[in-house]
Amino acid sequence: MHQYDLYGIGAALLDTEIEVSDSDLQRLGVDKGVMTLVDDRRQRQLVGNLEDHLVTAKRACGGSGANTVIAASYFGLRTFYSCKVAADENGDFYRADLTSAGVDYPSALTQADGGITGKCLVLVTPDAERSMNTFLGISAELSVAELDREALAASRWAYIEGYLVSSPTGRTAAIALREQAEAAGVKTALSLSDPAMVHLFHDGLLEMIGDGVDMLFCNRDEALHFTDTQTIEDAARALTRYCRSFAITLGAEGALVWDGEQQHRVSGTKVHAIDTNGAGDMFAGAFLYGINRELPFPEAGELACRAAGQVVSQYGPRLRAEQYEELLAPVV
């Protein structure tokens, strides 16, 4: 019997979502549809230039890995998350939000001396695309010190957020987590996270993957860039070198999943998308729930596509508690 179904590691970021126009992005010099690392000064400048938009701002505990682990927890998995927060109001909010979501964390995740808890400004345009400007804050210092060997060894799966590749200490922690998981017989999963991470830190991601992870998550653009291929079919073949199974999300078209022996196309859910923030994170959380509950890959993929479709049809990367129950109704 495992104490945890899923152990995750990633940045702790307090998300602020603001609805903007494409002209706002152009005026502010924000790259659309990707995650851009910024310093605190730049983030404050952006917020200052969007003061008239703040009436629609929404705040939530986030970070890609956290979104996935929180989703998995709400679906019913026993979860644990390693991250780093500072001794500030956002850090207090973050820890309280993890607790309310049923996610355990290291006892050492108390108020760290100095620093600022990471923040992500998520700008959502009318086409539902999200453009993220992330100030990592103290999350840039996430290291092996934040790992909990006992909790990891007591888990069935370990999930690694690909964004950690942008931090030298975070990348080292991710590699150590994978190695410790492999030594303890814990299955490993990793998300490529963002096309910009694949473009800028390809070799670092290869280090994090090592000899191969048990499960790899990515979207179409990440798969093509990571494998340097032109078609999703070629990318799928190339990805088998790096993992023992994978899920490639294809937006409204659904997903392509591979269980190690056979590929399966999973249909997407027709929805009116208004905010794509957290779609891939939600997909991963639902999929990991499914395979933890020994659902066949096609069924896990169907659940994940329904969950991702639900989250993009509303604002924010999270669902309400009753929505998770509704999504599970056809599965149970």
Q: What is the pLDDT of residue 328?
A: 93
Q: How far is CA 325 from CA 164, 188, 278, 322, 331, in A?
A: 31, 26, 19, 5, 10
For range 260-266, the mean pLDDT: 97
Q: What is the pLDDT of residue 54?
A: 61
Q: Are 72 and 167 in contact (CB under 8 A)?
A: no
Q: Are 128 and 276 in contact (CB under 8 A)?
A: yes
Residue 332 pLDDT > 70? no
Q: How many percent of the chain have pLDDT more than 70? A: 97
Segment 32-63, tens digit of pLDDT: 988 899 999 999 999 888 887 765 556 778 89
Number of C-beta neighbours around residue 327 at 10 A = 21
What three-state secondary structure class fits 60?
strand
Segment 98-116, tens digit of pLDDT: 999 999 998 776 555 678 9
Q: What is the pLDDT of residue 275?
A: 82
Between 55 and 201, name the one with better pLDDT. 201
Residues 6+ apart with CB under 8 A from 13: 62, 63, 66, 118, 119, 120, 134, 136, 139
Distance CA 68, CA 177 (A): 17
For range 122-127, the mean pLDDT: 91
Q: What is the pLDDT of residue 309?
A: 95
Segment 141-150, tens digit of pLDDT: 999 999 999 9
For range 308-330, the mean pLDDT: 90
Between 267 and 52, name the one with better pLDDT. 267
- Mean pLDDT computed over every residue of the chain: 92
Residue 133 pLDDT > 80? yes
Residue 134 pLDDT > 80? yes
Residue 316 pLDDT > 90? no
Cα angle value 167/283/292 (rounded, 5°): 95
Q: Which two tokens stand for residue 164?
A: 């950690």
Instruction: Quote the distance between the C-alpha of residue 49 and its chain's center.
Output: 28
Q: What is the pLDDT of residue 308?
A: 95
Segment 9-21, tens digit of pLDDT: 999 998 888 889 9
Residue 120 pLDDT > 70? yes
Q: What is the pLDDT of residue 270?
A: 86
Segment 211-256, tens digit of pLDDT: 999 999 999 999 999 999 999 999 999 999 999 999 999 998 999 9
Q: What is the pLDDT of residue 113?
A: 66
Q: What is the pLDDT of residue 79?
A: 98
Cα angle value 205/176/259 (rounded, 5°): 60
Q: How far is CA 319 from CA 71, 75, 94, 295, in A?
A: 8, 11, 17, 22
Q: What is the pLDDT of residue 56?
A: 55
Q: What is the pLDDT of residue 71?
A: 97
Segment 153-199, tens digit of pLDDT: 999 999 999 999 999 999 999 999 999 999 999 999 999 999 999 99
Residues 6+ apart with CB under 8 A from 207: 171, 175
